[in-house]
Homo-oligomer: A and B are copies of this chain.
Amino acid sequence: MKLASLPQGRDGRLVVVSDDLAWYAEAGHIVPTLQGLLDDWERLAPEVGSLAIELAHEAIPRLRFHEREAAAPLPRAFQWVDGSAYVNHVELVRQARGAQLPESFWTDPLMYQGGSDDLRGARDPITLADEAWGCDCEAEIVVVTGDVPQGVTPEAALDHIRLVGLVNDVSLRNLIPGELAKGFGFVQAKPASHFSPVFVTPAALGEAWRDGKLHLPLHVDINGQAFGRAEAGEECTFDFGVLIAHLAKTRRIGAGTLIGSGTVSNRDPDGSPGRPVAEGGRGYSCIAEQRMVETIRTGAPATPFLKYGDVVRIEARDFRGKSVFGAIEGEVVRG
C-alpha cells in the first residue's frame, strides 16, 4: 500500500493513496496519523491495507490526490538518522575536501543523527537564510522502521522495515567542514529535510525492493535539466539491514524511525567518477559530486551550489516510467 499525510495540525492526517498516485481515501477512522499506525502496526496495518484494496477497486469514496498538497508522511518523527550507503559519494566528497577515505568506510557505515522535529513536505520551499552557506541537495532513499530490538542482525532488521520513500537531505556544504572538525556531527550544516509525498510498503514495491535495497533509478533534475540518473540498487555498499543493525548495536529503535541511505551515487563502468548526464553518464544526486568531478578535470569546481530560485526535483520511476513515491520538488527561497 501507499500512504501519505495531508496537512492537519502538527502531525498531518493519514490517507491511503492509489498505486498511480491519482486518488486517495481518508484513513482517519482507523488511525488519525501515520505515527499512530506505526505505533500499532501489527493490529492496524491489515485494516489500512484493506482500505487500500477497496480504494484500488473504487469500492469506497475517493478524492483526487495532488502531490503538491501532501505534507511529509511524518511531519515530525522521533528519530531521523542518515547513513552513507553509497561509499562512492563519501569518497568524492572527501576528495573535494582534500581528505582521504579511511579503508574502514567500506565496512563500517558512516551515520549521523539528524533533527526530526521539522520534516518538510515534498513541495515545501527549501528555506535558506544565507546563500553563502553553500546549499546543496542530497537525493536519497529512506525507510521507516517499526520497533527494532537492540543487537538486531542485518538479516533480521529487514523484517522491521515498514515503509520506503525518498528524501532530499538538504546540506549546507560550507558549514560542514567546521562541524566535521568538532567530531560531534551536524546540528547547523543539516537543516530540515524534505520527503516524498508518498511512502510505500516493501511488498507494494514488488521486484524493485530486494536485498534491503531499492532497485530503481533516481531522477534528479535541477531547474528542469537532468542532473542525476543513478541506479539506487547499484554500488550500494550497505543495504538497509546493515544500516539498521549499525544503529541498533547499543540501543533499541522506536517505531517511526527514519533511516536514510545517504546520497545515491554510481561510478562509471571504468571506475572513474560518474560523468554528467549531458555527457551520457548517470550524473549526480548532489551538486558536491559534480563540483568534485570538475575539480578533478579542471582544477576547480564550476557548478555553483543552489541559489534562490533554483528548483530541485527528485523522483524514482518504475520500469514503466511511472513515479513510485511522487516527486520531491522544492524551490530555494530566502527564509
Contacts and interface: CB of A to CB of B under 8 A. Distances in A.
A78 B81 contact: no
A226 interface: no
Contact of A188 (B79, B115, B184, B249): B249
Interface residues of A, number: 49
A208 interface: no
Interface of A: 10, 39, 76-79, 81, 108, 110-118, 127, 129, 133, 150-151, 172, 175, 179-189, 191-192, 246-247, 249-257, 335
24 contacts: A10-B39, A76-B78, A79-B115, A79-B116, A79-B117, A110-B184, A111-B184, A112-B184, A113-B114, A113-B186, A113-B187, A115-B251, A117-B254, A117-B256, A117-B257, A118-B253, A118-B254, A129-B150, A180-B183, A183-B183, A187-B246, A187-B247, A189-B250, A192-B252
Is chain A's binding surface mostly helix, strand, loop or mixed?
loop
Given A77-B78, A111-B187, 16 more contacts: A10-B254, A78-B78, A78-B116, A112-B185, A113-B187, A116-B116, A117-B254, A118-B251, A129-B150, A175-B250, A184-B185, A185-B186, A187-B247, A188-B249, A189-B250, A192-B251
A77 B187 CA distance: 17
A307 B81 CA distance: 30
A182 B99 CA distance: 12
List the 4 closest pairs (A to B, CB-CB), nearest first. A185-B185, A117-B254, A78-B117, A180-B183
Contacts of A111: 184, 187
B78 A191 contact: no
